[in-house]
Amino acid sequence: MNRFPFRIDGRDGDARATTLDLPHGRIQTPVYMPVGTQAAVRSVHPRLLDDTGTQILLANTYHLSQRPGEKLVAKAGGLHRFMGVDLPILTDSGGFQVFSLEKEVDEQGVRFRYEVDGKPTVLTPERSMEIQQELGADVAMVFDECLAFGTDKGYAADSVERTTRWEERCRLAHTREDQALFGIVQGGFWPDLRKRSAEQIRELDFDGYAVGGLSVGEGHATMVEVLDWTTPHMPQDRPRYLMGVGRPVDLVEGVARGIDMFDCVIQTRHARSGVAWGWMGRVRLTDSRYRSDLYPIDTRCTCSTCKTFSRAYLHHLFRVGEVLAATLVSVHNIAWFHQYMAEMRTSILEGRFQSFREKAHETWPAERQEKPRKGKPRREDHED
């Protein structure tokens, strides 16, 4: 396949700096993608995304097919015009959202009820492709089965084979030439199943490849272990995407294993509760210590929020319940994560990625990550 220009600009170990050209723009990786679940990045005006340095963002197929419906989006001129965004957009397949619901899975697809109106629905690989082609994003994702942390190996083995068949059906149903199609590697938490899935999906020849089934409660240590089992079996000449991951130490460890693209909701979700990320760690702006602090969130950050506003002002906005607080801190968090990824890219190109990685672990230690939890994937971890 490989219909969209992709090149590797530099390496430092397995870490890569790459460039991907898509219909709505060029992406330089490693890259973090802000999440716009409902065709909007929560509390952030589209014009502000350019100021943050956003290169590409993500929207949610499952939700947009319910409201407002892909037909209306297509009638409006596609997702870019509908959102007022002239940046590349990636849409997920709906697979993660469906698998967090009560459902029945068979060879055809998944039967469930929409939570908005309770309507009985069947989502199949073909239907997911139909929706995403109507939405018209730059990148569409195949329909796969996302497994919960704690799923038994027998079911996971069957799921790998079913996911491969579903992805082959997606490949056949996807006909839009101006839209990239990425495959997804599954396999749960077993090295042999991850290897099997990666080899099978690789043979289907997609424009890019994603690692799915992580950030579902397994914790940081297990996540990197699964990546160690998976990425060696993924193509070198295509973009690689780790789905639903976005904490600084997770990002640097993903890049260390050859991942190029990431998405996560914490940047805007944390912002709405007053938590800002920066080079010195996290700042909880609602703490009383910031009531009269006239420094910016981060003195090294170049975002419009840090150039203009103090911690004291932001503390005041949260204290009085002003919605502007969420916007200003969201802009900072998004912009800072882009600066973090840009610094990571530079460290790769200059051959000092390992020292960057060590500093990341000192500033955002892995032990502060969430502890493993079993159960079905939580949709709120991936949606905003």
Which tokens in the block code for residue 238?
Answer: 């295509």
Q: Which of 92, 144, 207, 298 is catalytic?
A: 92
Whether 106 is a known active-site residue: answer: no
d(CA 114, CA 296): 44
- Of 219, 234, 129, residue with least CA distance to 187: 234
Q: For the chain, what is the radius of gyration of the CA atoms? A: 20
**How many helices (H) and strands (E) are present in the chain, helices listed first?**
15, 16
Beta-carbon count within 10 A of 161 CB: 12
d(CA 96, CA 186): 12
Positive or negative, the Cα torsion across 348, 27, 188, 368? positive
| Beta strands in the chain, from DSSP E residues, in sequence order | 6-12, 15-22, 25-28, 31-36, 57-59, 89-91, 104-105, 110-113, 120-123, 139-141, 180-185, 208-211, 240-242, 261-264, 275-278, 281-284
| Partners of residue 20 on adjacent β-strands | 6, 27
Which tokens in the block code for residue 46?
Answer: 């589209």
Residue 80, helix vs strand vs coil: helix
120-123 β-sheet, strand order: 104-105, 110-113, 120-123
Q: Contact at 8 Å (CB) between 326 and 274?
A: no
Alpha-carbon distance values, 167 to 111, 122, 163, 200, 344 (Å): 18, 17, 6, 10, 32
Whether 21 is a known active-site residue: answer: no
Alpha-carbon distance values, 17 to 6, 28, 345, 354 (Å): 11, 7, 6, 14
Q: What are phi and psi of 226, to 5 degrees?
A: -65, -40
Q: Which of 138, 144, 207, 263 is catalytic?
A: 263
Catalytic residue IDs: 92, 263
